[in-house]
Amino acid sequence: MNLPILSIIMFSPVVGALIILALPEDRHTDIKATAAVASFISCLGSIYAFFAYDHTLGGIQFEEQMRWIPGLGVSYHVGVDGISLPLVLLTGIIIFSGVLVSWVRDHRPREFFAMLLLLVTGVFGTFVALDLFLLFVCYELAVLPMYLLIGIWGTTRKEYAAMKLTLYLLVGSSLALAGVLVASVASGLGTFDLLELAKVNFGPAFQAAIFLPIFIGFDVLGGLWPLHTWSPDGHVAAPTAVSMLHAGVLMKMGAYAALRVGVFLFPDGARQWLPWIIILTAVNVVYGATVAFAQRDIKYVIGYSSVSHMGYVTMGVATLSQIGLAGATMQMFSHGIMTGIFFAAVGLVYRRTHTRQIPELGGLVRKLPFVAVAFIIAGLSSMGMPGFSGFVAEFQVLMGVWHTYPIIAVISLVGVVVTAAYILRFTYMIFFGPLKEEFQDIPPTSTLEKVALMFMCAFIVGFGVLPQPMLAVIQTGVSELLAAIR
Amino acid sequence: MLGDTTQNLALILWQLSPELILLLTGLIILLVDAIRPHQADQGWSPYAALAGLVVALVACITLLGQPPATVLAVLTLDGLALVAKILALVSVGMVALFSGPYMQEHSRHQGAFYALLIFATLAITLVAGASNLVLIFLAVDFLSITSYILTGYLREDRRSSEAAIKYFLYGAALSAMMLYGMSLLFGLTGATDLHAIAAQLGAGTTEHVTVLLAMLFVMAGLGFKVAAVPFHQWAPDAYEGAPTPVTAFLSLGPKVAGFAVLARFLLFALPQFQVDWTTLLLSLSAMTMTGGNLIAIWQKNIKRLLAYSSIAQAGYLMIGLVAVSGGGLASLLFYLAVYLFANLGAFAVVLAMSRGELGEQIEDYAGLSQRSPGLALAMLLFLLSLAGIPPLAGFVGKVNLFVAAVNEGLIWLVVVGVLNSVISLYYYLQVVRQIYLLPPTSEEPVSIPRPITTTLLIATAGVLVLGIYPSLLLPLIETAVQAFFGG
């Protein structure tokens, strides 16, 4: 049975969005149910694809190709390999959990869920695209709805954050677009197909010139320091599900595109610039962690924590080694889930306490034990504690960096220590200690919220204790990529 | 012999049919309007105009498959001319469609208005095909004069009259400049036909600098028509003061005409001077994009914002002009089509919102998404298409232009182009912000007259379909202009 599984995964949300737009404004339950079904289909599809992928065979699987714009050399070409497949799975998990966590949202839900689903189609598309035009369409499709999602349903300084985020990300992607156009024309093949372009041997000078705008352009979304400033404001301002998606998945989109387009197509350029870029990633890790430590708003903590953890991703990529890249991919998956849990937890707390200021919280474990446990699990993963997927990821990245740039590894360890410090500190301050008077009567976690949290935690713990299924897939993808760029 | 003449006559009539149909339509509308009593209902006139436009459009389509031909020695009938004519006819058709309610509310002389609109379209079709200096000048001036009258059509409205005067004064000066340039060219080459001029110039002219000067003057005149920087200063005032349907017309018609004739100049008359033109056009393009976009940021009036947006869009179109010899022509025409739907769609929304004095300030759009979600969504799509965001048509249009530019090695122009798209997104999002993020000042939905709804549907379909499946139009345009490049 040759189901176009990737197209199903990709288009289910947009079909859901169109149905939702056709529903009357006041049919809240129908709207949310449609969103849940659409995201569930994608989620199920991505889980199926993940376990159906034959990692012994490797390569691109579930490939589909269709003519689209022959005049430009563009085709609808999708497929997954060992690197993009975990990210597809990640997206499926996060969008489904995100929809569940957003169930109580009653302000203009029709537009909210429509925008959310539209955004997620773009995200799925970016991960599975094997045609650069398609990749760009999906990439920008995932950026624009953010403006409305943050601007309408957001909180702190939402308009400022929304505009900053949108413009910043679009400048990055526009530069990458310019680079891609030049590369496509320079190849002389008249195509935008990723696999075709990968076979072209661009000259080293050309590669060096073109790698930088493409890699940096995409990695703006990956939160590369110092182009990360859109991120904390954006995460804080965004509504919960949007933060989950954004920090959890969209930032991975940036790092992934930087890898897939920048490194894969222009490896000589990569080899020239990455030794410098890795310094920036070390700053990401340490700076992000340190600033996170100093925050009072829990969402800012997680926002900066994301900047810090995304540093590991680009760091692993910059090592251009098997273990480093494997760690980077694992980190993309692991951090994605982890940050999804964090934002979900914070959202649930905020909904009940109406404050995100850490000094004002405390003792919530008595009222929200579920949320506390989820938060702790995510926290342990964030610290790199063995038994959780974060350990598998960070350990590999650091091993990879140690072999190539030992100084960077040592610097990053500072980040690890600071991370442990703020995670422990804030977990204690929010969930333990005395419970404030006004929080005595907050409602407990609802069933849907529990399901969402449990779902995400299962993957963090599952792949932490049994990383092999995930690692097998990732190793295949990484070794193929490295072989291709030799 | 007689049979030959008759056959020739028939052929010429067919080749000139769009122009003749338009002429006839305009005259009939004028006549009927003159005959009917003054107070009679004038609601028929937009539909009469539309009918004429549709018939002319059909005539153009029948001419599409024909090999290039010269008609009456002054007109060329080729892919460029026909595509430009079709674009012009579709644009004015949409304008005629959505302008009815507005003109009914603001003016008592609708018949003459539509006659003028048809005559302006006739001018555009003549410009699109003109390959002789004299005809180019006549047709461009014909377009200009009808445009001035249309701009000042609301005689009781001071802004309309002021806009018309400014447009006229500016246009007259630049028209004279253009004529001077043309006379220089004639003086140097002894020819008014573009091909003959090319032959003379190709034979090795001594007066290189004079030719450059002559072409600069001509380009000034044409740049004025398309509102390129630095010949754009008339545009914001004219756009703001003119009746909104006229603004919509001005944002499309003269651009189609101007770019068609500019392309023809570059391709017919000056092939060997192309190297010089690249730098000049490049700078003009970059200036126009950047200038238009930067000033648009400060605008509070939606018509002025769309004016500056149109100026910037002319800049993008010029990218196609710079790369005209290598695929740039097709991308220019495709972008015109894309721009047509998005821009006219936006104006249709402005018209729907215009009730009395309201609807011209951007803040009047506050909360539109909650008052009329459909209208808001349409505007969102149009603005995003203008900004070049996928999956809308504007993105494909821009990628097309950029690929053509990269093909000619104009990488920095592409960088300027993409960055400008981001700048433009900022001010388009200001409108989106009003529509979606801010609360409405009034709760009642916007009542949209039927003709405007039809236009909105056409425009929305245009930006979505051309964005997701551009192969519907792109190959057609490419085939049509292939004749220019040796098949």
User: Which residues in B lie closer than 8 A to residue A151 (C-beta atoms)?
Assistant: 433, 436-437
- Torsion sign (Cα): A306, A307, A309, A315: positive
CB interface of B with A, residues 52-91, below 8 Å: none
- B330 to chain A: closest CA residue: A71
- Contact of A235 with A346, CB cutoff 8 Å: no
Percentage of chain B exceeding pLDDT 90: 57
Element (H, E) at A75: strand A74-80
* Nearest CA-CA partner of A63 in A19, A112, A118, A128: A128
Element (H, E) at A67: strand A61-69
- B427 to chain A: closest CA residue: A163
* Nearest CA-CA partner of B290 in B256, B313, B259: B313
Identify whether B124 is part of a domain.
Answer: no
Name which of B415, B418, B434, B477 to mutate to probe chain A: the one with the most chain A Cβ atoms within 10 A of its Cβ.
B418
Band of residue B486 on the pLDDT scale cut at 50, 70, 90: very low
Rounded to a whole number of angstroms, the distance from the CA of B390 to the nearest CA of chain A is 5
Q: What is the pLDDT of residue B273?
A: 56
Kindly state the greatest CA–CA separation across chain B: 76
- Contact of B428 with B386, CB cutoff 8 Å: yes
Q: Does B383 touch chain A (CB under 8 A)?
A: no
Element (H, E) at A65: strand A61-69
pLDDT digits (tens, 9 = 90+) for B60-90: 999 887 888 888 888 888 888 999 999 999 9
- The tokens of A8 are what? 């199903």
* pLDDT surpasses 60 at B23: yes
Tell me what the mean pLDDT of segment A7-35 comes to.
Answer: 92
Band of residue B29 on the pLDDT scale cut at 50, 70, 90: very high
* Nearest CA-CA partner of B431 in B339, B248, B299: B299
pLDDT digits (tens, 9 = 90+) for B396-422: 999 999 999 998 888 999 999 999 999
Identify whether B244 is part of a domain.
Answer: no
Tell me what the mean pLDDT of segment B42-58 comes to.
Answer: 90
Least confident of A96-105, B19-28, B245-254, B267-276: B267-276
Side chain identity, residue B363:
E
A353-389 per-residue burial string, b: 16 or more CB within 10 A, e: under 16: bebbebeebbbbbebbebbbbbbbbbbbbbbbbeebb
Contact B478 A68 (CB under 8 A): no
A224 Cβ neighbours under 8 A, 6+ residues apart: A216, A277, A280, A281, A284, A310, A314
* pLDDT surpasses 90 at A97: yes
Band of residue B4 on the pLDDT scale cut at 50, 70, 90: low
Identify whether B446 is part of a domain.
Answer: yes
Q: What is the pLDDT of residue B487?
A: 34
Per-residue CA distances from B51 to A377, B20, B114, B225, B253 (Å): 70, 14, 12, 27, 18
Q: Could you give the CA distance from residue B357 to residue B349 in angstroms, rounded to a whole number?
A: 15
Q: What is the mean pLDDT of chain A?
A: 91
* pLDDT surpasses 80 at A432: yes
Rounded to a whole number of angstroms, the distance from the CA of A360 to the nearest CA of chain B is 30
Q: Which residue range forms the structural domain that includes residue B360?
A: 281-487
- Contact of A403 with A360, CB cutoff 8 Å: no
- The tokens of A26 are what? 């006041």
- The tokens of A116 are what? 């959310």
Percentage of chain B exceeding pLDDT 70: 93
Tell me what the mean pLDDT of segment A447-475 comes to.
Answer: 91
A201 Cβ neighbours under 8 A, 6+ residues apart: none
- Residues paired with A357 in a beta bridge: A297
Q: Could you give the CA distance from residue B67 to residue B331 in angstroms, rounded to a whole number?
A: 21
What one-character-per-residue DSSP string does A357-403 give?
Answer: BGGG---GGGT-HHHHHHHHHHHHHHHT-TTSHHHHHHHHHHHHHHH
Instruction: Show me where the domains of chain A are located.
Output: 5-485
pLDDT digits (tens, 9 = 90+) for B233-252: 899 999 999 999 999 999 99
Tell me what the mean pLDDT of segment B336-359 comes to.
Answer: 88
Q: Does B432 touch chain A (CB under 8 A)?
A: yes
Least confident of A163-177, B238-252, B470-484: B470-484
Q: What is the pLDDT of residue B209?
A: 79
Band of residue A419 on the pLDDT scale cut at 50, 70, 90: very high
Tell me what the mean pLDDT of segment B341-347 comes to.
Answer: 95
Band of residue B326 on the pLDDT scale cut at 50, 70, 90: low
- The tokens of A325 are what? 């890249």
Identify whether B396 is part of a domain.
Answer: yes
Name the residue facing B418 among A108, A111, A178 (closest C-beta): A178
What one-character-per-residue DSSP string does B282-308 give?
Answer: HHHHHHHHHHHHHHHTT--BHHHHHHH
Identify whether B409 is part of a domain.
Answer: yes
What one-character-per-residue DSSP string does B366-416 give?
Answer: TTHHHH-HHHHHHHHHHHHHHHT-TTSHHHHHHHHHHHHHHHTT-HHHHHH
* pLDDT surpasses 60 at B43: yes
Q: What is the pLDDT of residue B462?
A: 94
The Cα angle at residue B416 between residues B413 and B421, in degrees rounded to 5: 125
Q: Does B424 touch chain A (CB under 8 A)?
A: no
Rounded to a whole number of angstroms, the distance from the CA of A318 to the nearest CA of chain B is 26
Tell me what the mean pLDDT of segment A229-236 comes to.
Answer: 92
- Contact of B269 with B205, CB cutoff 8 Å: no
- Residues paired with A67 in a beta bridge: A75
- A191 to chain B: closest CA residue: B403
- A170 to chain B: closest CA residue: B422
Percentage of chain A exceeding pLDDT 90: 72
Element (H, E) at A178: helix A158-187
Identify whether B105 is part of a domain.
Answer: no
Q: Could you give the CA distance from residue A173 to residue B418 in angstroms, rounded to a whole number?
A: 9
pLDDT digits (tens, 9 = 90+) for B267-299: 777 665 555 677 888 889 999 999 999 999 999
* Nearest CA-CA partner of A223 in A191, A190, A252, A192: A252
Identify whether B81 is part of a domain.
Answer: no
Q: What is the pLDDT of residue B348?
A: 94
Q: Provide the number of structural domains found in chain B.
A: 1
Q: Could you give the CA distance from residue A435 to residue A368 in angstroms, rounded to a whole number?
A: 11
- A181 to chain B: closest CA residue: B403
User: Which residues in B lie closer than 8 A to residue A174 (C-beta atoms)?
Assistant: 418-419, 421-422
Tell me what the mean pLDDT of segment A383-389 comes to.
Answer: 89
* Nearest CA-CA partner of B147 in B128, B172, B168: B168
Tell me what the mean pLDDT of segment A176-204 comes to.
Answer: 89
Q: Could you give the CA distance from residue B14 to residue B11 in angstroms, rounded to a whole number?
A: 5
Q: Does B434 touch chain A (CB under 8 A)?
A: no
Q: Does A151 touch chain B (CB under 8 A)?
A: yes
B277 against B226, higher pLDDT: B226
* pLDDT surpasses 90 at B104: no
Outline where A294-368 has alpha helix (H).
298-319, 322-353
Rounded to two decimals, the ipTM of the complex is 0.91
Q: Could you give the CA distance from residue B255 to residue B231 in angstroms, rounded to a whole number?
A: 13
* pLDDT surpasses 80 at A249: yes
pLDDT digits (tens, 9 = 90+) for B130-189: 989 999 999 999 999 999 999 999 888 888 999 999 999 999 999 999 999 999 989 888
Identify whether B54 is part of a domain.
Answer: no
pLDDT digits (tens, 9 = 90+) for A262-313: 999 999 999 999 999 999 999 999 999 999 999 999 999 999 999 999 999 9
Q: Could you give the CA distance from residue A31 to residue A226 in angstroms, rounded to a whole number?
A: 40
User: Which residues in B lie closer than 8 A to residue A75 (C-beta atoms)?
Assistant: none
Name the residue facing B422 among A141, A152, A174 (closest C-beta): A174
Rounded to a whole number of angstroms, the distance from the CA of A298 to the nearest CA of chain B is 26
- The tokens of A60 are what? 């691109």
